[in-house]
Amino acid sequence: MEKYLKINKEVLRIISKSTEKEKTQIIKKIYDLGFEVGVKNHSEIGWVLREYNDLIAKASKLGIKMPDSYYTDGKTKGKTNRDKNIEGSKTPDKVTPAVRKIVVSDPVVDLNIQKEESGFDHHMEKPSLNDLPKFVEKSSATEIPRFLEGFRPNKRK
């Protein structure tokens, strides 16, 4: 009989330790959800409401009293943290750009490549002011179709 009582007490201790861990995890999740809502100014509908309801249901099953207070605490802390970050971002710190030294050695050029490139030394002819570039030619899509040419008063070709 005494062995049975000892075993039951140990089982109860193990169960109570695991429920304490679960309680602290649920409380932390509720607080973190409130903190995220406060910092990022999420609306409390959609995924936030679903997550909040799930966490509150789990907390009530574990016997946590007033789980919504952890959410509101996290939310107010998140809002104050957001406000502090906004005020801090108005006066940015000086950012010094990273400077790297680049050492250039003599370039190694293959003579075959140099010979191929030397063939392109001819000068290109500059267009006059009235010349249009080749890619701005009149396309056939802008012309009137042939079956409508009969209705056109002046035939230009």
Tens-digit pLDDT profile for residues 41-87: 888 888 888 998 999 898 888 888 888 889 899 999 998 988 887 65
Is the sign of the CA dihedral 61, 64, 65, 67 positive or negative?
A: negative
| Phi, psi dihedrals of residue 117, rounded to the nearest 5° | -75, -25
Q: d(Cα 1, Cα 5) in Å, to the nearest integer?
A: 6
Angstrom CA distances, 110 to 28, 74, 116, 119, 122, stand at: 66, 67, 10, 15, 22
The CA distances from residue 12 to 18, 59, 64, in Å, are 10, 20, 18
Instruction: For residue 137, give the 3-state DSSP assignment.
Output: coil
For residue 4, is pLDDT > 70?
A: no
pLDDT tens digit string along 93-125? 566 677 777 777 766 666 555 555 555 556 666
73-to-56, 58, 81 alpha-carbon distances in Å? 15, 19, 12
What is the value of pTM for the model shown? Answer: 0.46
Q: In sequence order, what are the residues at sequence separation of 6 or more whose Cβ sits closer than 8 angstroms to the Cβ of residue 59? A: 23, 26, 27, 30, 67
SS3 (DSSP) at 145: coil
Q: Which residue has the higher pLDDT, 64 or 131?
A: 64
What mean pLDDT is reported for the chain?
74
User: Which of 5-14, 91-100, 124-133 has the least mean pLDDT?
Assistant: 5-14
Task: Report the C-alpha gap between 79 and 35 in whole angstroms.
Answer: 8
Diameter over CA atoms, the chain: 118
Say what the pLDDT of residue 31 is: 92
